[in-house]
Chains A and B, each alone.
Chain A
């Protein structure tokens, strides 16, 4: 992967069909995302936001079109799990912490795919847990944590292997406004302090306005790409 290139993602005529073409979730999208950008993907439910994020995370392959990550074609990766483990941090709407593992253990799970020796995993997990302000919750299971705390643990987990891109699908969708603000501040801080590329799906316009750039989708297409508030979102 070419590091000199500041272009992180480049999509050209990207399409994704489901059920043998009966559902067209992406109908041809084109965009570039540069290193260190904060992009919010917005749009009404069912317009293809999650599908797009799945493509960016190499969780699924596009039907046609091309998608490159730092010059490498994502659908052609020999082992997408290496890309997911090293380059990407995923944050989900419903947190997806593993229920049988403590907060500290959950953060260590992605590290099993890294070169980090077992002795250092715990220490790194503890540092990450501290960075989200939850070191006192290390031994708690997810069921004992509040929604906001769960998402903070999930953010710590997404950072486990030091990714360069964070992909978040409605990370505040299951949270009250106070916790939503904490999570958003945390993500913005990571973006600003660690120069991380942040791609965030949301339908909350307040959150979208915090991003430097909005991609508005409608029915599988990108209908607006620019600085938030510079164009009225079309109905």
Chain B
């Protein structure tokens, strides 16, 4: 028998209470995994989407909502003239409920823009021109909408035909319905307006030149913001808020777990007062009692962390396969996040054990001979 087996025995002696405490802490940790995983995944899939389209700078007008605000397509003319700009691709992007899908990314793309070039046809064909009432679907979008080549697709008041199914090389792309820019402008009654300009720079452009170009874009068109693809989302006000909220919400859930562990450990210390005094009378050092309590609560945290990570990952996998979310994001469940969550859980366990441990250090061995 070792010190650690005594720690374990402390938790197994009241399995129901230990179980309930674990549920409390694991829900908090599951919230961390799920919410942070989703917000990070959102960021990552946006970035891979940009990369798949071969975009170096994104020009948009980020307001307080996640969807960018429309501006005049005359801005595109100004940008294309700037140095280091190799090509641009204007877009009108919108999140809409289409037929059976609650939320789908719609991307109206400038007909001669480069953003069409990265789409690999899986079946069917591309639209013939920007007048044809045609749409191509990313493969996930096609699955979600249950469409095949030749099927009609209702977008707001317009009825288009699905002519192709494509692989866009990124989750966001594959979850989108893609059509010619003028068609979407007409559907949304936003003629002559766009809300995203993808900019590709000439090969060999340095980081500094890229930054300089962003400054010049904003100077040329003061209404918009221009950001290098990597920093685009993380610099967006609204995205930062989403991120802060997901951390905030999940830490609140963790706090509930903290209270649960603290309560359990306090109960453990109080109901074992006599036992602890006997241990002291048998020669245990008070520091060993304190360590026992702290190890117990750390172990509670660790087990709760493992359970929480499993619940969080399972929850996200479930969510990912619901029609509402599918194709919109790819949660980032990197090993880093999972390990961070478990570390948070252990830290939470130790912190929750501090006060109960302090209480345990106040127990007198004289109690052993009383009663």
Instruction: Mark each residue of chain A from 84 to 98: 1 if its CB lies under 8 Å from any CB of chain B, else 0.
Output: 111010101010101
Shortest Cβ distance from B286 into A: residue: A81
Q: Does B278 contact A (CB under 8 A)?
A: yes
List B residues 347-361 near A (Cβ within 8 Å). Answer: none
Complex contact B283–A88 (CB within 8 A)? yes
Complex contact A85–B2 (CB within 8 A)? no
Complex contact A54–B366 (CB within 8 A)? yes
Known contacts A81-B285, A84-B283; is-contact A105 B278 (Cβ 8 Å): no
Q: Does B325 contact A (CB under 8 A)?
A: no
Complex contact A96–B278 (CB within 8 A)? yes
Partner of B274, one of A59, A60, A96, A109: A96
Complex contact B9–A84 (CB within 8 A)? no
Partner of A60, one of B2, B12, B283, B366: B366
B278: chain A residues within 8 A (beta carbon): 92, 96, 98
Partner of A157, one of B6, B282, B365, B369: B282
Complex contact A108–B1 (CB within 8 A)? yes
- With the chains together, A110 CA to B275 CA distance in Å? 13
Q: Name the residue in A50, A59, A88, A94 with the highest tally of chain B Cβ atoms < 10 Å from its Cβ.
A: A59
B368: chain A residues within 8 A (beta carbon): 59, 90, 92, 96
Q: Does A101 contact B (CB under 8 A)?
A: yes
List A residues 147-200 near B (Cβ within 8 Å). Answer: 157, 160-161, 169
Partner of A100, one of B9, B286, B369: B9
Q: Name the residue in A50, A84, A169 with the highest tally of chain B Cβ atoms < 10 Å from its Cβ.
A: A84
A105: chain B residues within 8 A (beta carbon): 1
List A residues 184-229 near B (Cβ within 8 Å). Answer: none
Complex contact B13–A110 (CB within 8 A)? no
List B residues 61-115 near A (Cβ within 8 Å). Answer: none
Partner of A109, one of B279, B364, B365, B370: B279
Shortest Cβ distance from A97 into B: residue: B278
Count of chain B residues with a beta carbon within 8 Å of a chain A beta carbon: 27
Q: Does A137 contact B (CB under 8 A)?
A: no
Q: Does A27 contact B (CB under 8 A)?
A: no
Q: Name the residue in A60, A81, A100 with the highest tally of chain B Cβ atoms < 10 Å from its Cβ.
A: A81
Shortest Cβ distance from A95 into B: residue: B278
Complex contact A59–B285 (CB within 8 A)? no
Complex contact B369–A86 (CB within 8 A)? no
Complex contact B283–A161 (CB within 8 A)? yes
B13: chain A residues within 8 A (beta carbon): 99-100
Q: Does A122 contact B (CB under 8 A)?
A: yes
Known contacts A96-B274, A100-B13, A113-B288; is-contact A85 B369 (Cβ 8 Å): no
A100: chain B residues within 8 A (beta carbon): 9-10, 12-13
B370: chain A residues within 8 A (beta carbon): 50
Q: Does B281 contact A (CB under 8 A)?
A: yes
**A87: shortest Cβ distance to chain B, in Å?**
9
- With the chains together, A110 CA to B368 CA distance in Å? 15
- With the chains together, A157 CA to B278 CA distance in Å? 12
- With the chains together, A39 CA to B71 CA distance in Å? 99
- With the chains together, A169 CA to B282 CA distance in Å? 14
- With the chains together, A42 CA to B278 CA distance in Å? 23
A92: chain B residues within 8 A (beta carbon): 278, 368-369
Complex contact A59–B284 (CB within 8 A)? no
- With the chains together, A109 CA to B13 CA distance in Å? 17
Known contacts A112-B3, A121-B1, A122-B1; is-contact A54 B369 (Cβ 8 Å): yes
Instruction: Mark each residue of chain B from 269 to 293: 1 if its CB lies under 8 Å from any CB of chain A, else 0.
Output: 0000011001111111110100000
Q: Does A118 contact B (CB under 8 A)?
A: yes
Known contacts A57-B281, A161-B283; is-contact A98 B366 (Cβ 8 Å): no
B364: chain A residues within 8 A (beta carbon): 59-60
**B282: shortest Cβ distance to chain A, in Å?**
4
**B360: shortest Cβ distance to chain A, in Å?**
14
14 pairs across A/B with beta carbons < 8 Å?
Answer: A54-B369, A57-B365, A59-B364, A59-B369, A82-B283, A84-B281, A84-B282, A84-B365, A88-B283, A90-B282, A112-B3, A112-B6, A112-B288, A160-B282
Interface residues of B (CB under 8 A from A): 1-3, 6, 9-10, 12-13, 274-275, 278-286, 288, 364-366, 368-371
Given contacts A57-B365, A100-B10, A101-B9, 8 further A-B contacts (CB under 8 A): A57-B281, A82-B283, A88-B283, A90-B282, A92-B278, A92-B369, A100-B13, A112-B6
